[in-house]
Amino acid sequence: MQKASVLLLEDDINLAETIKEYLEDEGYNVDVVHTSSDAMDNIYEKHYDILLFDVMVPGIDGFELLKKIREKEETPAIFITSLDSVENLEKGFESGADDYIRKPFALKELKIRMETLLKRSFETKNDRIPIDKNIFYDIKSNQLFINDQSANLNQKELRLLKLFLQHPNEVLSHDTIYEHLWDYEETPSDMALRTYIKNLRKYIGKERIESIKRHGYKFIK
């Protein structure tokens, strides 16, 4: 299995570096951002196995950020925060958090909480959609697995795969795909879509995605 990938949103640079160094020593791949807008950019471009968010960060706060992410993704998320009221705890879980750890904390405690969430995410067998022999899509973790290893797909590629799986053997128009892959403030790109299709075919087989001239694409189940 590939190392689990982590997105850490923390505006305290020293704390962020401490967490990053510890988790990387424990075998994780960690990307660090310091603002909510940078976190959103990373999530659109790359898949993460788990999210670690501070709450009080530049831009929209961690609560609102996770709400936006939960509209499209179910990646496990832990809030790391100095906010200690019951009201904030409740707000954190209502925004979609899976866990909540208060500063200051022991790094080993954070690792234990992460491992618990990742185990729950990766071992949910009933949420797997088979695509081919030894190839399946896991709904819970939003990942494609080949021989029990997660494929290196970005978020738009995973959204596209999920869309195909929801509409097997149906022709999906370019416009339909654009609506699902790009948010209203983004400009759809046919060149980017072709790249996403190419990358999916690399993992699940060229014959699985059929190009329908002047119409769109069809996923062959």
Pick the residue with more confidence: 209 or 87?
209
What is the rounded average pLDDT of the residues 11-40? 95
Q: Are 69 and 96 in contact (CB under 8 A)?
A: yes
Strands (E), the chain: 5-9, 29-33, 50-53, 77-81, 99-102, 128-132, 135-138, 143-146, 149-150, 171-173, 209-212, 216-219
DSSP class of residue 168?
T
- Cβ of 218: how many Cβ atoms within 10 Å? 18
pLDDT at 31 over 80: yes
- Residue keyed to tokens 């409740």: 90
Tell me how far apart the alpha carbons of residues 106 and 108 are, in angstroms, rounded to a whole number.
Answer: 5
Q: Is the dihedral of CA 168, 169, 172, 177 positive or negative?
A: positive
**Mean pLDDT highest for which of 92-96, 128-132, 201-205?**
201-205
What is the set of domains in the chain, with CATH numbers?
5-122 (3.40.50.2300), 127-219 (1.10.10.10)
DSSP classification of residue 215 = T
Q: pLDDT (tens digit, 9 = 90+) per residue, 196-221?
A: 999 999 999 999 999 998 899 999 98
Whole-prediction pTM: 0.57
**In angstroms, what is the C-alpha Rg of the chain?**
18
Residue 155, CA distances (Å) to 16, 46, 63, 97, 126 in order: 24, 6, 21, 19, 22
Could you tell me where the beta strands, DSSP code E, fall in 5-154? 5-9, 29-33, 50-53, 77-81, 99-102, 128-132, 135-138, 143-146, 149-150
**Each residue's pLDDT tens digit, 146-186:** 988 899 999 999 999 999 988 888 899 999 999 889 987 88
